[in-house]
Structure 1
């Protein structure tokens, strides 16, 4: 079987979709005996080593080359050339869309948030889905989703046959694992943190993540709890509203909140491992990778009882209705203070995480390829 894997999502800093594409690319490069050939497709051109795309200088250079090439080459001619080179290959796009030059292929749909929560996306992205996604679905031989919850949504929303959609769970990198206080001391001290002395939420700050609800519930905890376990927020600003910005600034002034912004991928696993609890009240996720990463790190976790999150947690997390203030506040107290539950949650979380690896994800994806390659 000859495979073409699109790697357009490999743009630094990596998003969750970028991580997914990179993990598949790394696995198939290392397991070359499982494929007759593999090529990588990025923005209309072939790429030798996808990892090079994570170097900003190279990514910028490729973007400029692509722009110059498009200006001097007619679109119809480009597509004809690409179709000829792709002949005899199976094409997989890990990022929603098949290129126009691809007549048939496999596409991964991570969630339907652009349809269900359009206010969390830029207008240009919404227009792109409105103009191009139906064309992708018309040409897709098969759809892969990250969870059974998203698979059911695609079946319901687009009327697709269940036989044409496969749910394949994502994985946690080996870097996400349990660490003791001694091994984390220096790294955490740099940020003024202590092992076991803070709660953690890793999330883009946008409406469906319900960070505003989390801050309101945390503010309602006893002052002694907030003092002992301040809340640490990590993640890019996203759609940071003025109201949420004010909440964050108030929490920082009062000393019970730290907003770190975007955290480097090297430090992120350490930040997880040092947390007393992980809190992720997002109302909608196609998978919820931070929940899996927290469980793999041996951290008791609270998350929402909606979309794919109960599926990913698999009985290891405290589930809440994120829009119910009292339920969310009570859940935070339990995850921080109920030692019997915490011990059981850590054990169960590690068990779940051991079964959800990127190797498993790549192998199950390869099984789908074999049905078409």
Structure 2
């Protein structure tokens, strides 16, 4: 019955609260039409601002709006009345439940259950108290440990805990073994807490070390890839340059095949008494350079000078020349 009453009061409170918020929204919307500052104050200091606004004279305040304000006031009053009822009914229900529980705990044992012979009474009571107290203390001891560390059994059997204990100095190892065997509850909880704290710190350090190592490996691989890409770009650029150079030379040779030879380089077709083709002398004075291209130059005599290293040129008449200010010095 008490649970039904509590459920009914809770449901009524929920309905009234929802209704109050609905009419609060409607009334604040009306007050916003007069002044947004007044509406904000109504939200912060309701229902005092609502009451003042309701009774002050104003224009355009119709019957429908008055009805909304009245309904809001009624919902607030109903909520207050329900609060008073709850404050009276709930404590009375709780008191009745506690009284019934106390009544149910009355000792119903029979007198023959109390009969203990006088000569054995003290021994029996002492033995019962000792056993009961020891069992209860042990139960509370383990309950407190498992409440603080529900995984106490797994921790004790874990290789991490064994390694952590063995890594301590010998004196601390003996102290840990003593506490786990016959230590107080607080001491056992402290041992487990210290182990978990150290394990967490170690795992954080190990994680950070692995992360730094992975970052270093990634950085090294990135730098190696950048180096490989740079070498590949250089190789591709060199190959492209050589291909372009070869293409230009081939185009130049192909273009010069169709050009007529200069007059100085034309081979005479007239027969001579010695049947020999005259060659220009290598020590002849070269002419002035008049035209150059990527592969060499021409002079005013029509001689072709093929480009070598630096300012070195090789004339078609033979020998080696140096280009000095547009004039070829040959030897």
TM-score by length of 1: 0.16
Tell me which protein shows more strand as a share of its residues. Answer: 1
TM-score, structure 2 normalization: 0.17
Higher relative contact order, structure no. (Cα contacts within 8 Å, ≥ 6 residues apart): 1
